[in-house]
Amino acid sequence: MNKGLIFLFLSFFTFNIFSQELISGNVTYINELNIESPLEGVSVYWEDLSFGATTNSDGDYSLPSSTTSNKLIFKFIGFKEDLVEISSIKLYNHLMVIDNNQLDEVVVNKRKKTIQKSYFKTQNIINVSSDELLKAACCNISESFETNPSIDVSFSDAITGVKQVKMLGLESPYILITEENIPMVRGASQVFGLSFIPGTWVESMQITKGTGSVVNGFESISGQINVELKKPLTDSPVFVNLFSSNMGRNEINIHFNKKISQKLSSGFFLHANDNSKSHDENYDGFLDSPKSLGYNLFNRWQYIDPEKGLVSFLGLRLMKDDKTMGQYNDTMLNSSGDIPAIWNSEINTNRFDSNFKLGYVNPNIPYQTIGFQMAYSNHDQISFFGNRNYNINQDSFYSSLLYNSIITNTMNKFKVGLNYSFDRFEELVDTQNNQYLRNDRSFGGFFEYSYDNLDKLSLVAGIRYDVHNNLGSFITPRLHLRYMLLEKSVLRFSAGFGRKASNIFSENQNIFSTGRKININKNNGKFYGLNPEKAFNYGVSFRQGFSLNNKEGDITIDYYVTDFENQVVVDIEKQGEVHFYNLDGKSFARSFQIELDYEISTNINFKSAYKNYDVKRQFNSGFKQNPLTPKNRFFLNLDFSSTIGENGSRWKYDFTYNWIGEQRLPFHSALSSMNGYSKSYNLFNSQLTRVFSNKIEAYVGGENIGSYTQKNPILGANDPFGNDFDSSIIYAPISGSMFYLGLRFKL
Amino acid sequence: MKYIIILFFLVANYSFGQEITSKSAKTSFSVSGVCEMCKDRIEKGALKLKGVKYVNWNIISNKVSIIYNSKKIKLDNIHKEIALLGHSTDLQKATEDTYNNLPDCCQYKTESIH
């Protein structure tokens, strides 16, 4: 963009002064969410045209007072024109009212992107707004990444229907998943945790590619996903979401929020889901997706006192989820007329969560803040899979204290703090007498320095030291660098270490839905006899913005490498057996991604990405590509939304296409015809939303519209209690197209 | 483990201590300017002065609030340095030359309607 253009652009916000007397204020309107928000581009001028100004992106205006007029005009297309008499005041705030009679006129409104990448942040962080989450209407966080190219979604097995997320080619245990910066999906909740966060509760998500900040602990290896939940103060007073699919899945979400006093607000978030329909499209006698019943209740309190600089949150949450899976009871008799034993399965989960946060900003010294947070949860899962049992109970306590300030000036900031966490695991694996008990205690301190030269260069360098009863004492350094080569051209670099304890059973629950015999090659480690995992992640990302036909777009190229120094290898290469052992040799995940985003027109956004993953590990049987990990993937998303009409009514349409390349399959005699590789396939998702008004909207959509399914998701289905039974070799969807419809209503 | 706690409190104490010994002074005064570009120029310019810790300039009110170390820099000098950027303050007028070097949109003295 040349300089002339910048000045032309800036001059829109410009007003000029010749006397010192100014009148200023803020112009707002009530948006479709019923929230008073700033209005940009409003013309404000004296009736006699002596002076004028335009409001900026914050809705602020300011213009010299006039000696010849005292009537101020506020004018913006689509809104009622207002004339206000100003006496001697210097500050005047104005509320604009939408004019429904101006139907012939067009409202010019720049669309806000639902996935935003920053040019200025040091880390490679992608912000996902709640609008983006609406594109995947169903139903919880684990299903909401289908429209996001940075995260890949796959099925973990053919029994539980649970979706697994991957980042940079690595499974979810290597991603640190936090809820408002408190580690959340870990340990016992590793597999199902994301599905326990209802989509409508989420305000936004931040996805960090590559190593994360040291502030949240030593665990993140390939990236971090932070989920921000809705806040009682800013969420709508009443919100209802209803969802129903042709597969028998029904969901309901209700939010109530109330401002109790100027400082205190409270919210109740309720969620319930039910699926009681038996569903077996491929006639293998096994349910394609579980029958389930669950609820999730959340009460949160928010306290804000801006004068004292205090912010506080308190949350309490109760969750229950029951799933029934496997062969359904009305199974046919076998040839000899006996009733065969039925392979069925149940997972019953109860979870309690509580958290407390307190933040203090020194009102006189705005760069000094102190934050304290604390969370306790209990996760209890009781389950069986055929004749195999798996129970886990985890108590988890987490606390952190954080202090932010500066060194010499605000170009040099630092964060210093402490974390303490305690986890108690109690597990029962396969049979009654096979129990595992473990306590993890960790205490650590961190220091993170950030530098911003206010121009081209910024960096974040962090270091932490942890003392852990089972991992030992260790140092974790991490570094992030950002350099702006030109305007709209940013280069980022990151590198850092990460470690974690591998909870082999809770992270790999799909092994229970197989006949595989469990073998642990113990080597005196503290975690099931195994040593903890340690990896080094580094990568570069380059982003170039461009303007074509007056429309904005950008190209992002990423290359990230994760090198494991130690790993717990899950080896399913041998039929009928699963082996867990520590890495002896090399293991890495190299991920390359090129992404193109372009706004085709004011109404249409285009997004596409090509991804290449090279994930190799040293197995006992050789150095091989990780099974069930596609080497190549292609992603495309088109998003259309019509111009906002009367009452905020509009159409929104979204289409996502995924091409998933071939995947190496572990050996299984029932798969011998496939020559060791799955075929590539296409997936289509689409959704149409009709916003009737600011209060009510309806949506319909389809997932896997092309109905591509895996031919034989359950191997050895005729002998489910035998060693060859396996439902964990999943490379494609299990059920065909799913159609749904729903309704959202807010007050 | 103990060392970490001690270190934490040392660092936190040190920086809080700094404020208490009141080498830090807070000030607020008018600086003429018009747009986001002026905001950038004023804030970056002032922040690069040795002894200045924090700067925030408000477009609407034309007021700047500054936290600085009074032992390292005098308030007069802050006014002077900001005026050198082309922006007049309460105490210090920008020279014609520096003012004229400002881009068109930042020329706060001009009388025109955009």
Nearest residue on chain A to B46, alpha-carbon basis: A409
What is d(CA A193, CA A215) in angstroms, rounded to the nearest whole number?
22
Residue A650 reports pLDDT greater than 70: yes
pLDDT digits (tens, 9 = 90+) for A54-100: 788 888 888 887 777 778 888 777 777 777 777 666 778 888 877 65
Nearest-CA distance B20 → chain A (Å) = 12
Nearest residue on chain A to B51, alpha-carbon basis: A408
Instruction: Based on the fold, state whether residues A482 and A607 are members of the same structural domain.
Output: yes
Instruction: Based on the fold, state whether residues A130 and A84 are members of the same structural domain.
Output: no
Q: Are A465 and A458 in contact (CB under 8 A)?
A: no
Q: Per the CB < 8 Å rule, is B8 touching A49?
A: no
- Which residue, chain included where needed, has tokens 């289908």? A146
Q: Per the CB < 8 Å rule, is A54 touching B114?
A: yes
A135 in a structural domain? yes
What is d(CA A477, CA A479) in angstroms, rounded to the nearest whole number?
7
What's the domain range around B36? 22-106
Q: In this predicted structure, what is the pLDDT of residue B113?
A: 37
Q: In this predicted structure, what is the pLDDT of residue A519?
A: 95
A228, A262, A288 — which closes off a domain? A228
B10 in a structural domain? no
Residues 6+ apart with CB under 8 A from A723: A515, A516, A517, A575, A576
Q: Per the CB < 8 Å rule, is A15 touching B114?
A: yes
B57 in a structural domain? yes
Among A residues 414-443, those touching chain B with beta carbons less than 8 Å apart: 416-418, 443
If residue B50 lies in a helix (H) or strand (E), which one and from where to where?
none
Cα angle A58, A64, A69 (rounded to 5 degrees) comes to: 115
Q: In this predicted structure, what is the pLDDT of residue B12?
A: 57
What is d(CA A180, CA A187) in angstroms, rounded to the nearest whole number?
18
B11 in a structural domain? no
A329 in a structural domain? yes
Q: Per the CB < 8 Å rule, is A467 touching B1?
A: yes
A16 in a structural domain? yes
Residue A450 reports pLDDT greater than 60: yes
Mean pLDDT of A435-450: 96
Cα angle A121, A122, A126 (rounded to 5 degrees) comes to: 55
Q: Are A520 and A569 in contact (CB under 8 A)?
A: no
Cβ-based contacts of A410 with chain B (< 8 Å): 47, 53-55
Phi/psi for B27 (5° steps) reads -140, 160
Q: Is the dihedral of CA A476, A222, A148, A291 positive or negative?
A: negative
B15 in a structural domain? no
Q: In this predicted structure, what is the pLDDT of residue B4?
A: 59
**Mean pLDDT across chain A:** 87
Instruction: Based on the fold, state whether residues A282 and A378 are members of the same structural domain.
Output: yes
Nearest-CA distance B49 → chain A (Å) = 9
Number of domains, chain A: 3
* Paired residues of B66 in beta bridges: B27, B55
Residue A390 reports pLDDT greater than 60: yes
More confident residue, A65 or A532: A532
What is d(CA A719, CA A343) in angstroms, rounded to the nearest whole number?
9
Phi/psi for A699 (5° steps) reads -140, 150
Nearest-CA distance B112 → chain A (Å) = 6
Q: In this predicted structure, what is the pLDDT of residue A34?
A: 63
Residues 6+ apart with CB under 8 A from B3: none
Nearest-CA distance A403 → chain B (Å) = 7
Instruction: Based on the fold, state whether residues A481 and A345 are members of the same structural domain.
Output: yes
Q: In this predicted structure, what is the pLDDT of residue A339?
A: 60
B78 in a structural domain? yes
What is d(CA A43, CA A31) in angstroms, rounded to the nearest whole number?
19
Among A residues 311-370, those touching chain B with beta carbons less than 8 Å apart: 362, 364-368
What is d(CA A289, CA A286) in angstroms, rounded to the nearest whole number?
9
Q: Could you say which of B4, B12, B32 has the minimum Cβ distance to residue A465?
A: B4
Nearest-CA distance B26 → chain A (Å) = 8
Give the pLDDT band of residue A461 (cuts 50, 70, 90).
Answer: very high
Residues 6+ apart with CB under 8 A from A287: A278, A279, A280, A324, A325, A326, A327, A328
Check if the interface score ipTM surpasses 0.90.
no
Residue B43 reports pLDDT greater than 60: yes
Q: In this predicted structure, what is the pLDDT of residue B7?
A: 60
What is d(CA A545, CA A552) in angstroms, rounded to the nearest whole number?
7
Q: Which two tokens stand for residue A312?
A: 């506080």
A114 in a structural domain? no
Q: Are A715 and A668 in contact (CB under 8 A)?
A: yes
Instruction: Based on the fold, state whether residues A216 and A268 are members of the same structural domain.
Output: no
Give the pLDDT band of residue A110 (cuts 50, 70, 90).
Answer: very low
Instruction: Based on the fold, state whether residues A465 and A553 are members of the same structural domain.
Output: yes
Among A residues 450-479, those touching chain B with beta carbons less than 8 Å apart: 454-455, 465, 467
What is d(CA A683, CA A657) in angstroms, rounded to the nearest whole number?
6
What is d(CA A98, CA A112) in angstroms, rounded to the nearest whole number?
20
Q: How many CA atoms lie within 13 A of A51 on its CB side?
A: 25
Mean pLDDT of A138-156: 85
Cα angle A309, A310, A311 (rounded to 5 degrees) comes to: 130
B114 in a structural domain? no
What is d(CA A222, CA A214) in angstroms, rounded to the nearest whole number?
14
Give the pLDDT band of residue A340 (cuts 50, 70, 90).
Answer: low
Mean pLDDT of A507-520: 94
What's the domain range around A150? 120-228
A4 in a structural domain? no
Q: Per the CB < 8 Å rule, is B110 touching A16?
A: yes
Q: Per the CB < 8 Å rule, is B26 touching A403?
A: no
Q: Per the CB < 8 Å rule, is A56 touching B67?
A: no
Q: Are A187 and A379 in contact (CB under 8 A)?
A: yes
Q: In this predicted structure, what is the pLDDT of residue A5?
A: 43
Cβ-based contacts of B24 with chain A (< 8 Å): 365
Residues 6+ apart with CB under 8 A from A566: A531, A532, A533, A534, A582, A583
Closest CA to A686 of A661, A728, A719, A657: A657
Instruction: Based on the fold, state whether residues A262 and A184 are members of the same structural domain.
Output: no
Cβ-based contacts of A7 with chain B (< 8 Å): 103-105
Q: In this predicted structure, what is the pLDDT of residue B104?
A: 73
pLDDT digits (tens, 9 = 90+) for A541-550: 999 989 888 8
The separation between CA A333 and the C-alpha centre of its own chain, rounded to angstroms, equals 46
Give the pLDDT band of residue A487 (cuts 50, 70, 90).
Answer: confident
A513 in a structural domain? yes
What is d(CA A477, CA A499) in angstroms, rounded to the nearest whole number?
12
Nearest-CA distance A51 → chain B (Å) = 6
What is d(CA A659, CA A609) in angstroms, rounded to the nearest whole number?
10
Phi/psi for A529 (5° steps) reads 85, 5
DSSP A198: B
Nearest-CA distance B6 → chain A (Å) = 10
Give the pLDDT band of residue A137 (cuts 50, 70, 90).
Answer: low
Q: Could you say which of A10, A52, A62 has the minimum Cβ distance to residue B113?
A: A52
Q: Are A635 and A657 in contact (CB under 8 A)?
A: yes
A542 in a structural domain? yes
State percent of chain A over pLDDT 90. Answer: 61
Q: Could you say which of B5, B37, B62 has the minimum Cβ distance to residue A418?
A: B5
Give the pLDDT band of residue B111 (cuts 50, 70, 90).
Answer: very low
Q: Per the CB < 8 Å rule, is A366 touching B26?
A: no
Query: Got the DSSP string for A138-167?
Result: SSBGGGTTTT-TTSEEEES-TTT--EEEEE
Among A residues 388-417, those touching chain B with beta carbons less than 8 Å apart: 401, 403, 405-406, 408-411, 416-417
Q: In this predicted structure, what is the pLDDT of residue A408?
A: 87
Nearest residue on chain A to B35, alpha-carbon basis: A14
Q: Per the CB < 8 Å rule, is A14 touching B105?
A: yes
User: Of the given ranges (A21-25, A107-111, A599-603, A682-686), which has the lowest mean pLDDT?
Assistant: A107-111
Q: Per the CB < 8 Å rule, is B36 touching A444?
A: no
Give the pLDDT band of residue A14 (cuts 50, 70, 90).
Answer: very low
Residue B3 reports pLDDT greater than 70: no
B111 in a structural domain? no
DSSP A194: G
Phi/psi for A191 (5° steps) reads -80, -45
Instruction: Based on the fold, state whether residues A589 and A640 are members of the same structural domain.
Output: yes
Q: Could you say which of A7, A12, A447 has the minimum Cβ distance to residue B104?
A: A7
Can you point out the beta strands (E) in A587-631?
587-601, 604-619, 622-625
A195, A228, A261 — which closes off a domain? A228
B6 in a structural domain? no
A54, A80, A96 — which closes off a domain? A96
CATH number at residue A271: 2.40.170.20
Q: In this predicted structure, what is the pLDDT of residue A374?
A: 96
On whether any CB of chain B is under 8 Å from the CB of A386, the answer is no
* Paired residues of A561 in beta bridges: A538, A590
* Paired residues of A284 in beta bridges: none
Q: Per the CB < 8 Å rule, is B24 touching A365?
A: yes
pLDDT digits (tens, 9 = 90+) for A223-267: 999 999 999 988 889 999 999 998 889 999 999 999 999 899 999
More confident residue, A604 or A18: A604
Cβ-based contacts of B1 with chain A (< 8 Å): 443, 467
Nearest residue on chain A to B26, alpha-carbon basis: A364
CATH number at residue B60: 3.30.70.100
A276 in a structural domain? yes
Number of domains, chain B: 1
Q: Which two tokens stand for residue A234?
A: 């800013």
pLDDT digits (tens, 9 = 90+) for A599-618: 898 889 999 999 999 999 99
Mean pLDDT of A210-226: 93
Q: Per the CB < 8 Å rule, is B8 touching A443?
A: no
State percent of chain A over pLDDT 70. Answer: 91
Q: Which two tokens stand for residue A431?
A: 């049979």
Q: Are A708 and A681 in contact (CB under 8 A)?
A: yes
pLDDT digits (tens, 9 = 90+) for B46-104: 998 999 999 998 877 788 999 999 899 999 999 999 999 999 998 999 998 888 888 77
Query: Got the DSSP string for A525-548?
Result: -SBTTBPPEEEEEEEEEEEEEEEE
Closest CA to A706 of A736, A742, A673: A736
Cβ-based contacts of B109 with chain A (< 8 Å): 16-18
Cβ-based contacts of B61 with chain A (< 8 Å): 24
pTM: 0.82
Query: Got the DSSP string for A492-525?
Result: EEEEEEEEE---HHHHTGGGGGB-PEEEE---S-
